[in-house]
Amino acid sequence: MVQKQEEELITTKELCDWLKISKATASRWRKQGMPYHGKDRSLRYKKSEVIKWLEEQEKSKKG
């Protein structure tokens, strides 16, 4: 049986450092639909989901 390796979750601070964005931008993106896990002070993100969401946003801008 093949086991799927779980992707590591990153914190909001790690997300901001990785994408070079502010916490306010991360919050705005969450409100716009960026995927995240947890709630309040336990927010976490999967890089693959964030990348996919950002790509979708870019495509919709080019429309």
Range of the domain at 44: 9-62
The pTM for the full model equals 0.85
- 42, part of any domain: yes
Taking 70 as the threshold, does the pLDDT of residue 28 lie above it? yes
Residues 6 or more apart from 48 whose CB is under 8 A from it? Answer: 7
61 and 32 in contact (C-beta within 8 Å)? no
Taking 90 as the threshold, does the pLDDT of residue 62 lie above it? no
Q: How far is C-alpha 44 from the chain's CA centre?
A: 8
- 3, part of any domain: no
Q: What is the CATH number of the domain that holds 38?
A: 1.10.10.10
